[in-house]
């Protein structure tokens, strides 16, 4: 699984003009599911996401996690993260998980993150979403299992 995480001051997701998820300060995580991903990989990614230290400590060093600072988490499914872009000028999606499998793994991932961190906001799987955010830093990292 892939997570593109961004430290944000705020973020929200809308579908057809309806807000389906919103957080204040915390992490926005775009989640991609690849063909050979499984629940064990999702559990590892959930642990890393919640524990990844991207927030400043008293000295300004990135030494605190979203759990440490009590920040929000917005998890947004994004199949394009699993695209193969190594050649040509058009992405290929043969590396992405099939939609039904990806949805099941994404939903399981959300439950795993909730178990570790508490309540999280999410986008809507398979929907055309509008994601708005204020990236703080900017701070953006790619996590993969």
Say what the pTM is: 0.96
pLDDT of residue 67: 97
Q: Catalytic site residue 80?
A: yes
Instruction: State the catalytic residue, choosing from 6, 55, 79, 112.
Output: 79
The position carrying tokens 């919640």 is 50
Instruction: State the catalytic residue, choosing from 6, 34, 78, 112.
Output: 78
Q: Catalytic site residue 79?
A: yes
Per-residue pLDDT reduced to its tens digit, 83-106: 999 999 999 999 999 999 999 999
Per-residue pLDDT reduced to its tens digit, 113-143: 999 999 999 999 999 999 999 999 999 999 9
Q: Cβ contacts of residue 32 below 8 Å, gap of 6+?
A: 1, 2, 3, 4, 77, 78, 79, 80, 81, 82, 96
Q: Please determine, looking at this structure, whether the domain spanning 2-144 carries the CATH number 3.40.50.1820.
A: no
For 24, 30, 79, 97, 101, the CA distances from 141, given in Å and listed in that order, are 19, 11, 17, 22, 25
| Domain boundaries, given as residue ranges, for the chain | 2-144
């Amino acid at each position: 699984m892939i997570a593109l995480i961004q430290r944000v001051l705020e973020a929200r997701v809308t579908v057809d003009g309806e807000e389906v998820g919103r957080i204040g300060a915390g992490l926005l995580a775009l989640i991609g599911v690849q063909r050979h991903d499984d629940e064990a990989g999702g559990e590892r990614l959930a642990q890393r996401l919640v524990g990844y230290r991207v927030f400043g400590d008293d000295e300004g060093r990135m030494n605190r996690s979203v759990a440490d600072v009590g920040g929000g988490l917005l998890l947004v499914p994004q199949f394009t993260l699993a695209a193969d872009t190594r050649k040509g000028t058009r992405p290929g999606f043969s590396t992405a998980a099939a939609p039904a499998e990806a949805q099941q793994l994404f939903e399981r991932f959300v439950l795993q993150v909730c178990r570790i961190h508490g309540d999280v906001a999410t986008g809507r799987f398979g929907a055309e979403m509008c994601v708005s955010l204020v990236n703080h830093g900017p701070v953006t990292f790619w996590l993969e299992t």
